[in-house]
Amino acid sequence: MEPIIEVKELSKEFKIYHHRRGFLGTFVNLFSRQHTVVRAVDHISFSMRRGEIVGYIGPNGAGKSTTIKMLTGILVPTSGHLTVNGYVPHRERKENARRIGVVFGQRTHLWFDLPVQESFELLRHIYQIPMKQYRENLELFDSIFELKGFFKTPVRQLSLGQRMRADIAAALLHNPDVLFLDEPTIGLDVVAKERLRQFIRQINVERQVTIILTTHDLDDVERLCERIILIDNARILFDGPLAAIRNLLSSERLLIVDYAEEYADVDMRDAVIVHREKGRVHYRFSLDEISAADLIGEILSRFKIVDLSVQEPEIEEVVRAIYENKVSIEQPVDGPLRSV
């Protein structure tokens, strides 16, 4: 199966012009302008298959938004090659736009002076959405985002949370194949965030929508993405499974088991008991010695349990350590990882 998104050696440079000050400087600027070249994206490569959800994360200024703008056709690459759904975005903007949905958390693509309902109607005509599909999508989005409460309110009068819900619904009205989400949960409360995450999972599974998620809220990444791409200083640092990057800091894990009874001996050969309180036991174990599945299997074969859980390292802690150079990625992005 060919990838739905393919990026090869993609780069984007911007010229930052220096203006001389004063009357003479202004005159000289007319004929000779000095500039500095800034590379916002530096020879990055990745691909995505249909139905993937990928977290594209990095600090401010790393190149995330520039990448998304090239994928959506807003910016023209300086060099390299990219396709989305078989289209070259900056050359085939209309064709690409009909197959993608975009949500920028800080900006809206609704009409500020129009009610949400009329903005949606305009989008229905722009994308030539069949009425049946339009109504079905509105019903689905209202059941999740409760749009009817502000459907007739002008966009400029919406709260940030309401506008985000309307923007996400608007981006999906035409059933896009690819969805770009830039800070989609900004301004949402805890309940609304969880509803949105459930909705993203739903459209991903049911409609096989391919999703690129850029966010500073790493809870979104942990709950939605199995794969992440880390970018910093315009270059990709890591591209691979979320589970793999956790091992950068340590291979140790904590297993918490609630036993059905207070067994006298619950020692495990490849795990150390670090805390015990009645029927609850905390084990520390290393993935280098035994997998979580094998350890759990051994416990289940010997005892009756009520509940258990494995505590993983916080992804935010790992990412912060990478950006602060406390750990380094020594292998190629597709290879094994090792902390130093």
Residue 228 contacts residue 278 (beta carbons within 8 Å): no
* 161 part of a folded domain: no
* 220 part of a folded domain: yes
Q: In the prediction, which pLDDT does 68 show?
A: 92
Residue 7 contacts residue 46 (beta carbons within 8 Å): yes
* 166 part of a folded domain: no
The pLDDT-based confidence of 35 (bands split at 50, 70, 90) is low
Query: Which of 43-47, 102-106, 213-217, 219-223 has maximum average pLDDT?
Result: 43-47
Residues 32 and 95 in one domain: yes
Residues 59 and 184 in one domain: yes
User: In this predicted structure, which of 20-24, 114-118, 172-176 has the lowest mean pLDDT?
Assistant: 20-24
Residue 338 scores a pLDDT above 50: no
Residues 259 and 236 in one domain: no
Residues 303 and 189 in one domain: no
Q: In the prediction, which pLDDT does 218 show?
A: 77
* 262 part of a folded domain: yes
Q: CB-side exposure of 186: number of CA atoms within 13 Å?
A: 17
Q: In the prediction, which pLDDT does 327 show?
A: 53
| CATH code of 35's domain | 3.40.50.300
C-alpha–C-alpha distance, residues 275 and 291, integer Å = 20
Average pLDDT estimate for 249-258: 82
The pLDDT-based confidence of 36 (bands split at 50, 70, 90) is confident
* 322 part of a folded domain: no
Residues 188 and 227 in one domain: yes
Average pLDDT estimate for 173-178: 94
Average pLDDT estimate for 139-157: 90
* 207 part of a folded domain: yes
Residues 236 and 259 in one domain: no
The pLDDT-based confidence of 325 (bands split at 50, 70, 90) is low
Residue 308 scores a pLDDT above 50: yes
Question: What is the Cα 72 distance to its own chain's centre?
Answer: 16
Residues 181 and 304 in one domain: no
Q: What is the domain extent for residue 50?
A: 5-99+176-244
Residues 87 and 32 in one domain: yes
Q: In the prediction, which pLDDT does 116 show?
A: 93
Q: How many domains does the chain have?
A: 2
Give whole-number Cα distances, 295 to 28, 124, 299, in Å.
73, 54, 6
* 21 part of a folded domain: yes
Alpha helices in the chain (DSSP H): 22-29, 64-71, 93-97, 116-126, 131-145, 160-172, 190-207, 218-224, 242-246, 292-302, 315-323
pTM: 0.73
Q: In the prediction, which pLDDT does 339 show?
A: 35
Residue 109 scores a pLDDT above 90: no
The pLDDT-based confidence of 255 (bands split at 50, 70, 90) is very high
Residue 335 scores a pLDDT above 50: no
Average pLDDT estimate for 321-326: 64
Residues 278 and 239 in one domain: no
Residue 267 scores a pLDDT above 70: yes
Residues 220 and 237 in one domain: yes
Q: In the prediction, which pLDDT does 119 show?
A: 94
Which of 209, 244, 279 represents a domain boundary (last residue)? 244
Average pLDDT estimate for 145-157: 90
> In the predicted model, what is the mean pLDDT of the chain?
85
* 71 part of a folded domain: yes
Residues 184 and 302 in one domain: no
Q: Give the whole-number percent of the chain exceeding pLDDT 70.
A: 84
The letter for the amino acid at 226 is: E
Q: In the prediction, which pLDDT does 233 show?
A: 85
Tens of pLDDT, residue by residue over 198-246, are: 888 988 998 899 999 988 777 788 888 989 998 888 899 889 888 777 6
Q: Give the whole-number percent of the chain exceeding pLDDT 90.
A: 45
Angle at 51 between CA 50 and CA 54, to 5 degrees: 100
Residues 95 and 77 in one domain: yes
